[in-house]
Amino acid sequence: MSEATDVPTVPAALPAGGTEPAVLARGVVKYYDEGVVPALNGVDLTVGRGEFVAITGPSGCGKSTMLHLFAALDVPTSGTIVINGYDLAHLRAPDRFRREEIGLVFQLHNLLPRLSVVDNVEIAMLGSRRHRAERAARARELLAAVDLLPFSARRPPQLSGGERQRVAIARALANDPAVLLADEPTGSLDSASVETVLALFTRLQTERGLTIVLVTHDQAVASAAGRVVHMLDGRIVEA
């Protein structure tokens, strides 16, 4: 849970059945350059808990902007975003929210090249309540989950692109996030590595009930998700 100042806020309107969604966006608008450049124009989206959703569309359609808003890396011009019960407009510690509620995976793995694989995973837990031995055990557990435990002592430059991305996914899971957000996570991978990473996402969803929102321009990658959301010109045109 986030610190006491970030109080969960139940949205006023829940989906049919009354179950609180993992992601709720209502009327989300985002402008850049002091209101000159529109990025999002009234986005409404609901993602259920344990759902695997792919957001797709052409470059510049606003899909990555939306993901960054969900991660509290940016703030909307207007509208409401609620993630795992937290109204992002009322966050007082967005860094802590990201560390404890959100897992982030990007196209570039952003691993630290001088640290070992296991240290790259463990570093995500610094500042958490886990002591050092617990962090190390958790890092090894996650590397085993992505089939990389034998490589734990290697450094990122000694791994393939697909292996580095799997380390990044393990790191994103270090603090048991409620939602995993992946922005073009297969964009720099070869076809075999793409299949491996997508299979891992599917396994995480089915076995752990993890909510996954994946952004991609690749329709073949999007088809791995349980639901595909199409965006165009800052709007959702099909959900």
Q: What is the mean pLDDT of each run of 10 residues along the chain (239 residues)?
A: 42 47 96 85 96 95 95 95 94 90 89 96 87 92 93 96 93 93 91 91 92 95 96 91
Measured CA to CA, the distance from residue 43 to residue 197 in angstroms comes to: 28
Q: What is the pTM of this model?
A: 0.87
Q: Within a domain: residue 204?
A: yes
Q: Among 81, 61, 49, 63, which Cα is nearest to 208's? A: 49
Q: Within a domain: residue 90?
A: yes
For residue 188, the model assigns a pLDDT of: 84
Q: Within a domain: residue 6?
A: no
For residue 5, the model assigns a pLDDT of: 42
Q: Within a domain: residue 132?
A: yes
Q: Within a domain: residue 68?
A: yes
Q: Within a domain: residue 213?
A: yes
> Burial of 188 by CB count in 10 Å (0-12 exposed, 13-18 middle, 19+ buried)?
middle
Range of the domain at 84: 23-238
Q: Within a domain: residue 80?
A: yes
CATH number (domain holding residue 182): 3.40.50.300
When divided into structural domains, the chain yields a total of 1
